[in-house]
Amino acid sequence: MMQNLFKTICLFLIAAMAFSQDCPAQVKKKKAHLSVRDSLREKVLKRDSVIRSFKNVDGSVNILLGKIEDYTTSYVETNSDLARGFDTLEISQELPTLEQRMALMRNAIDRSSTLGNLITIRDIIDHLKDQMNSWEDRVTIYNNQLDGIRAKVSDFKSDTVLRNAPADSSLRAKTIAQVEDLDAKWKSLDSAAQKSMIRVGLLENRVSALSILLIDLDDRIDLKIHEFTLKALTNEYGFIWNPHKSKTPNDLGTAVTKTSRLVYILYAYFIVSKSNYVAHVVNLLILVAFFAWIYSSRRKITRLNTGHEGVFEQTNYIVKYPYLSTLTVFSIIAPYLYDHATQAFTHTMFLIMMASIGVLIKHNWPKPLYKFYKVLFIAAVFFCISSLMVIVTYLDRVILLVVSGVVIYYSSQFLKQLKKDGAGYPPYMVLISKLFIGLQAFSVLLNICGRFSLAKIISVSATLNLCLGMGFYLLLQILMESLFLQLEGNKKAGNSLTSFLDFKELQKKSKGFLVKIIGILWLVALAKNLAIDDFIYDQANDFLNSPHQVSSTAFTFRSILVFVAVIWVSGLVARVISYFYDFAGQQTKLTPQAKKTRSSILLIRLTVFVVGFFVAITAAGIPMDRVTIIIGALGVGIGFGLQNIVNNLVSGVILAFEKPVQVGDIIEVSGKSGTITEIGIRSSKIECGDGSELIIPNGDLISQHVVNWTLSNNNRRVELVIRVAYGSDVAKVQKVLNSVVQGHPDIMKTPSPSVYLNTFSDSAIEFKALFWAEDITKWQSLKSSVMLEIYIEFEKEGIEIPKGQKEIQVNFPGGLGSPVAPPNQAGGEAGLPAGR
């Protein structure tokens, strides 16, 4: 009975626990959170149950209900898009400021009479035209969106299905109410769309008006530049000795006032223009980053190198003048980072560069060159101010004439000093000085004859570009010194890749590239100073983008140039990777197995070349079917005469994957032996022991018998044959040899060295000693050391080494006499014929 009671209590508890919890079927499902659009769509789909009940009764009712549902959904989506509005705030806020600038630009064009200012204003206008085009594109997109909304409204108004009411009275009342509600919504949407169209349309009209004004200003500038070009070749200002008949005004104060006002306007626009914000930030980053670079290198060398004074003495600029060196680099590079840098900003950076390099070169350049530099600096200040003048005055002509004359005099004195002693000067200074004197003399002649505009362009360009050339020369020295400090600082750390690089080797490889880049930048500056950069750009652009037809193939020189440039960059990247990877591997003390991993550089180079090839094809816009034709033509060429080249290329790929020989291996092939220093795509390079380098096609390394001494390890067995005279104590000899080879510290203990009695020759007893050298590159020195030790031990133990025996034959005339042989010498060899 107790058991039944216990069972009853257990069943009761289980039932209570079951009823105390919610059953899964009774749990109310939580409704998922829906967006506004999804909730409206759900309401539309769950419309009145009466309408849903009729939906399967009448086909016309189904069409009407479907239309109501579609238009309701379309209204919700369209109204949501329209409610977000159109982002015209930026355009509306900047248009008034831009309209004021246009008025200032028009006045500046009318007042300016110098080519430099006209070109600067045209550059600004070109930039503003780009901004206008982007605004016009945005407004056009907004108009297209509004046109789409109006089209939807028109479709709703013209739909006749909504005008057909159902026959059922209860259903008719409900559908009419829904159609009227929907009609009110679409009317409000149409009204809002019309207001937006009016606002966007007015904005579009203002943008279009500014675009037309910009085009008009651009045409006016082109006309003035054309007039300026024609006048520059004529006697526009009269001869300088006749100031009363000269066409130039004498009011220098008015010219300075107008120039200052125009320069201020252009400078202010240049600083606050949003298009220049990125360049401002990049220039600031260059200034900070370069100073941080040289400062960290100096600090690292000072902290890790006790003899840092010797390192610092090898530099002339960045250690003594870190701030001025940084300022020099910044002032030279800054103008090139702007798309439309004003002439005033360019001249400001130029004068900052001249002032900073003046201090840098004071104690580092020859005194005559520094004296010549000071004259150029003073002349450059006058020339920069003169090039900014918006009005040409007679006093301006006189000042330019006097400054040019002074510059010619001091340049001639400097040229005489340069011819006497040209040591320590930058290269080509004699030629540069002669060319500079010639240009200044030509400018003086033009100024006297009334062609002042052309004279100013020549004198300003010659002076500014000569000074800029000095700045670029100093920039190269500063960059090389910065790289030198970087490498010296990392050498003490010993962990980074750059710590193993040789500065002289890296300087030789990088200096040529930097000189080319600097040369291009100098030519760009020359073109800007001569005001022909736009002309050169337009001509080059037309030449590169003009299509050409060869048979059925169309191409442009731009695509060819891009293809060649990308391939060249790929090769340059491959060489740089190869240099850094191989050089670091050669300088570090790696195990032989670790050194062999440097052979994988061939795979990296192949990958770079393949990726570069396809990138070049894509960048040049070459269709892949043309590439297929080229590959087919290449296959025909392979069949006729390129078998060996392709064989070597394929063999290079096989070497890269199979690795029968690797970089660092010591091999013998074609009767030559040496160390593999490079495995290229077509050929490999072997450095022989005599200092020569052997270039072997990769096909020979695959097809010929190659002896690889270091395929699995870097050990080598050395074999010595030792000969002793007959009568020597054989056991004693063997004991001495064993003691030498087993006691030598450089001989490997495993495998252990061994000594054998080899053979009995005609004149000596031969022993053979076998031992292993751990490093194959030192086996010759190890062999020499062991032989020297054996000789010393033999001398101590009185063991005799046999000497060679010579046989002398004497021939008498008429057959008299007989051969006379000397008696056998101890340890000599018998049976060796003597030379006659």
pLDDT digits (tens, 9 = 90+) for 342-351: 888 888 999 9
Q: Based on the domain organization, do 617 and 523 belong to the same domain?
A: no
Q: Based on the domain organization, do 765 and 673 belong to the same domain?
A: no
Does the residue 57 lie in any domain?
yes
> 534, 550, 573 — which closes off a domain?
534
> How many folded domains does the chain comprise?
5
Residue 463: the pLDDT is 92
DSSP strand pairing (666-669 vs 672-679) = antiparallel
Residue 353: the pLDDT is 93
Rounded distance between C-alpha atoms, residue 131 and residue 679, angstroms: 53
Label residue 305 by pLDDT band (50, 70, 90): low
- Residue-wise pLDDT tens digits, 17-26: 444 444 433 3
Does the residue 10 lie in any domain?
no
CATH code, 778: 3.30.70.100
> Which has the closest alpha carbon to 412: 444, 434, 443?
434
Instruction: Determine the average pLDDT of the residues in 772-788.
Output: 85
Q: Based on the domain organization, do 157 and 285 belong to the same domain?
A: no
Q: Based on the domain organization, do 457 and 606 belong to the same domain?
A: no
- Residue 583 to residues 129, 598, 675, Cα–Cα distance (Å): 52, 10, 15
Q: Residue 10: enclosing H or E segment and its boundaries?
A: helix 2-20
> Which has the closest alpha carbon to 718: 801, 793, 759, 775?
775
Strands annotated E in 458-513:
none
Q: Based on the domain organization, do 362 and 396 belong to the same domain?
A: yes
- Residue-wise pLDDT tens digits, 189-243: 888 888 888 888 888 888 888 888 888 888 887 787 777 777 767 777 777 777 6
707: phi then psi, degrees, rounded to nearest 5: -95, 120
> Which has the closest alpha carbon to 498: 602, 441, 579, 603?
579
Instruction: Give the range of the structural domain holding residue 213, as residue numbers without chain letter.
Output: 40-232
Q: Based on the domain organization, do 793 and 816 belong to the same domain?
A: no
Q: Based on the domain organization, do 743 and 670 belong to the same domain?
A: no
Residue 350: the pLDDT is 92
Q: Based on the domain organization, do 74 and 106 belong to the same domain?
A: yes
Residue 583: the pLDDT is 53
Residue 106 has pLDDT above 50, yes or no: yes
Rounded distance between C-alpha atoms, residue 368 and residue 601, angstroms: 51
- Residue-wise pLDDT tens digits, 121-136: 777 777 777 778 888 8
Torsion of CA 645, 650, 651, 654, to 10 degrees: 170
Q: Based on the domain organization, do 369 and 295 belong to the same domain?
A: yes
* 3-state DSSP of 669-697: ECCEEEEEEEECCCEEEEEECCCCEEEEE
Q: Based on the domain organization, do 637 and 763 belong to the same domain?
A: no
Rounded distance between C-alpha atoms, residue 751 and residue 766, angstroms: 23
Residue 824: the pLDDT is 46
